[in-house]
Amino acid sequence: MQKTDFYIGIMSGTSLDGIDVALVDFSARQPKLIASHYLAYTSMLQADLLALHQPDFNDLHKAQLVSNQLAHLYATATADLLKKAHCLADQIKAIGCHGQTIRHRPDQHYTIQLGNAALLTELSGITVISDFRSRDIAAGGQGAPLVPAFHHQVLRHPTVHRVIVNIGGISNLTNLQPERATTGFDCGPGNLLMDAWIKLQRGVSFDRGGEWAASGAVIPALLQNMLSEPFFHTPPPKSSGRDLFSMKWLSSKLTGNEAPADVQATLLALTSHSIAQAIKQYCSGAQEVYLCGGGAHNHALVKQLKSALPKAKVLLTDVLGIEADWMEAIAFAWLAQQTLAGQSANLPDVTGARHTCVLGAIYTA
């Protein structure tokens, strides 16, 4: 193994379910996933992170404590990953760590991801690159999504119009149209509202395969009420998160008389409709749509997307050589590589930044 070829990507996303860690070999044009590992959050940490999304007395102190806790978890996940791969820390060039978002307010020119990268460097003995979003925001951008730059580098086809759709807590897309600049943006809620609703109603973390949603019926008036949210009608560049699409937002749309399964069905329809509508409006003529993220395993959701996009092939990114579950973690390993090489990694046509930027803050081991 050559040290300069191997990077680790750490992703903990809006779904707040846990940590994805990927060891990636960049020695060839197509990145190779060497090993991967998942570490679930405890229910207590999930509750702490959810609470930090809302202002509270002493939340700065609480945020720092959680940030330290996350650094320890990231270090544990990294150690477990290296053990799986029979790899040593000194063989890794750098870790690209997204951190855990608790605020994303590009409208107010800031974004906050917790994780204490300095502590992670100390614990892992590996150079850590974090805070990827702030530089793009400083340049007038949204700071998100950042993964489209990786899609552009690795998944673009010279003659086939592809769209890559990541369905995490928030859904976003990358438009890879031949002979056109790569574009992309957040479409709206992906899994986060569905996960939150089933957690509230049934005490489980997610709707496996979309089975509960499939047992209900879409409530047309509720769906239209949710789709009236201005975000869906705002042209890109745009990004979003729990700052907007929260349980408080959902509660404001409900009368209280809806059957819980019907609400779940409507939330799934909201996700599928917002993705499909974004593709129809901004990616006209797309021939292939590739899905990644946890939502790619929601069979009911995928079925709706296929129905809404009959002229396009709808497949998982696995067929392109990048597993749907590990796309974002691999992308943040790539972002770390770009940073150390002094290469820009934002796409102004995606984020709205005034210019390209080298992203991330480096904590050298």
Task: Based on the fold, state whether residues 260 and 173 are members of the same structural domain.
Answer: yes
Is residue 151 domain-resident? no
115: containing domain? 3-143+326-363
Question: Closest Cα to residue 80, out of 132, 18, 16?
Answer: 18
Question: Closest Cα to residue 85, out of 25, 23, 31, 43?
Answer: 23
Answer yes or no: is pLDDT of 332 > 90: yes
**What's the pLDDT score for residue 49?**
94
The single-letter code of the amino acid at 207 is: D
What's the rounded mean pLDDT across residues 63-87? 97
- 61 Cβ neighbours under 8 A, 6+ residues apart: none
Question: Closest Cα to residue 119, out of 48, 45, 80, 64?
Answer: 64
What's the rounded mean pLDDT across residues 101-113? 95
Is residue 111 domain-resident? yes
Please check whether residue 362 is in contact with residue 129, taking contact to mean a CB–CB distance below 8 angstroms.
yes
The DSSP bridge pattern shows strands 32-40 and 18-25 to be antiparallel
Is residue 149 domain-resident? no
* Residue matched to tokens 């590990």: 326
Task: Based on the fold, state whether residues 191 and 269 are members of the same structural domain.
Answer: yes
Task: Based on the fold, state whether residues 68 and 136 are members of the same structural domain.
Answer: yes
Task: Based on the fold, state whether residues 298 and 166 are members of the same structural domain.
Answer: yes
Task: Based on the fold, state whether residues 136 and 16 are members of the same structural domain.
Answer: yes
Q: How far apart are CA 52 and CA 56, in angstroms?
A: 8
Is residue 150 domain-resident? no
Task: Based on the fold, state whether residues 106 and 219 are members of the same structural domain.
Answer: no
Task: Based on the fold, state whether residues 214 and 190 are members of the same structural domain.
Answer: yes
What's the rounded mean pLDDT across residues 92-101? 97
Residues 334, 336, 339: CA angle, nearest 5 degrees: 115
Task: Based on the fold, state whether residues 359 and 222 are members of the same structural domain.
Answer: no
Task: Based on the fold, state whether residues 299 and 161 are members of the same structural domain.
Answer: yes
CA 242 to chain CA mean position, Å: 12
The DSSP bridge pattern shows strands 288-292 and 162-167 to be parallel
Q: How confident is the model at residue 29 (pLDDT cuts 50, 70, 90)?
A: confident
Q: What is the pLDDT of residues 193-251, one digit of tens each?
A: 999 999 999 999 999 999 999 999 999 999 999 999 999 999 999 999 999 999 999 99
Share of the chain above pLDDT 90, in %: 95
Task: Based on the fold, state whether residues 333 and 310 are members of the same structural domain.
Answer: no
Q: What is the pLDDT of residues 336-360, one digit of tens each?
A: 999 999 999 999 999 999 999 999 9
b/e map of 220-253 (b: 16 or more CB within 10 Å)?
eebbeebbebebbeeebbbbbbbbbbbeeebeeb
The DSSP bridge pattern shows strands 170-176 and 162-167 to be antiparallel
Q: How confident is the model at residue 119 (pLDDT cuts 50, 70, 90)?
A: very high
Task: Based on the fold, state whether residues 306 and 349 are members of the same structural domain.
Answer: no
Task: Based on the fold, state whether residues 167 and 129 are members of the same structural domain.
Answer: no
Is residue 74 domain-resident? yes
342-349: long-range contacts, CB 8 A cutoff, minimum separation 24: 345/132, 345/146, 345/149, 346/135, 346/136, 346/139, 346/141, 346/146, 346/149, 347/148, 347/149, 347/152, 347/181, 347/182, 347/183, 347/184, 348/141, 349/181, 349/182, 349/183, 349/237
CATH code for position 114: 3.30.420.40
What's the rounded mean pLDDT across residues 4-31? 93
Total domains in the fold of the chain? 2
Is residue 163 domain-resident? yes
Answer yes or no: is pLDDT of 172 > 50: yes
Structure tokens given for 285: 């003529």
